[in-house]
Amino acid sequence: MPEILYPALKDLEDAYDRYRDDPDFSEELHAYNRGYGGRPSSLYYARRLTERAGGGKIYLKREDLVHGGAHKFNNVMGQALLAKRMGKERLICETGAGQHGVATSLAGAVLGLKTEVYMGSVDAERQRPNLFRMELMGAEVHEVDTGSKTLKDAINEALRDWSANVNNTHYLVGSVVGPHPYPMIVRDFQRVIGDELKSQMMKKEGRLPDHIVACVGGGSNAMGTFYPFVDYDEVRLTGVEAGGSGKGDAASLTEGTEGVLHGAKSLLLQDEGGQITETDSIAAGLDYPGVGPEHALYRETGRVQYTTASDQEALEGFHLLSETEGIIPALEPSHAIFTGMEIAAEMEPEDILVITLSGRGDKDLETVRETLT
């Protein structure tokens, strides 16, 4: 990380230490999560999907029902409230699929903080509806035309903005990536997914699930889902990365090598010279050449299994969930749906599988329609 950001990262770490266990702060966040965000999100038994797989019982953790249409809300609300307490007047963020930009924009609007969003021009093109949503909520969107014009370039540009405006601006990082303390803070705000899932499952089934599946780009919905379960060895955890079209992929954990990007040492898609390579996925939200460093650790220890689903397979998951359950998923969790179906098919009827449905698919309708013509 550039030295210029050191004081801001230190301030953020100090502020987080001060507020993480502060009852006032927790109360305020909890109130927004419930009243404004619609939490807890439901844990839904997908009967027809279960029948289709013909194996274990499939539950969906419905983050698509959270305000803004994705799990991004959880992290954004936490960080925006923290920024407000730190006296920041302005939020900036990067966005790939646009879900994190939408979430940051709504938090900025409801808390009265000026919001600017950086979005790669390739992503802006394929996620127009989300761009318009951000603007409707008062955010200013900057399209980024450098590099691969996707998520990593949006992060580069947000970091440059932050370097110039560290005093009044909070950089609201959208995933478990970037320099310390971001991976920790984002994980802690996202673990509400796994915490709710655990108590909901105990109520419904009286036990923990056998297997949990979530998609991984930067890795925030997967980290939030998995983290409360890492100490329960009987629960298998599977992360699904984007296998892309066959020409390339965005699978840092399954294909990457160790490197340093955006202030974190993790697994990266890079060439032999250490240049970061361009990613390829139908899901803009998975198009990141790195991954959260804690995922790299779980891969190394073997606690989480990581696999890939291709663009084609994700589309299969997308249509399957739409047709069997009347739920149109985002293309990102469609990867997890495909892999989850394969896993469920191999399970016994009394076994339980949970798939985190991290977001809804409205933003992807155009992308999917183009694949049908």
Residues with catalytic annotation?
A: 72, 94, 358
Q: Is residue 181 reached through a cis peptide bond, with omega within 30 degrees of 0 on the bond before it?
A: yes
Task: Examine residue 146 and tell whether it contacts other proteins (CB under 8 A).
Answer: yes
**114-120 and 90-95 strand pairing:** parallel
Residues in Cβ contact with 65 at an 8 Å cutoff, skipping those fewer than 6 apart: 38, 41, 42, 360
Near other proteins by CB under 8 A: residue from 163, 312, 322, 324: 163
In contact, 355 and 333? CB cutoff 8 Å: yes
Cβ 292 to other proteins shortest distance, Å: 17
Cβ 316 to other proteins shortest distance, Å: 33
How far is 247 from 244, CA to CA, in rounded Å? 7
Task: Examine residue 14 and tell whether it contacts other proteins (CB under 8 A).
Answer: no
Task: Examine residue 365 and tell whether it contacts other proteins (CB under 8 A).
Answer: no
Cβ 287 to other proteins shortest distance, Å: 14
Near other proteins by CB under 8 A: residue from 152, 187, 335, 360: 152
How far is 168 from 113, CA to CA, in rounded Å? 11
Near other proteins by CB under 8 A: residue from 41, 50, 75, 156: 156
In contact, 353 and 339? CB cutoff 8 Å: no
Residues of this chain, 245-284, that bind other proteins according to CB under 8 A? 258-263, 268, 270-277
**43-45 and 57-62 strand pairing:** antiparallel
Residue 7 or 246: the one with the smaller Cβ distance to other proteins is 7
> Cα 84 to chain center, whole Å?
23
Cβ 163 to other proteins shortest distance, Å: 5
Site for other proteins, rule CB under 8 A: 1-4, 6-7, 146-147, 152-153, 156, 159-160, 163-167, 258-263, 268, 270-277
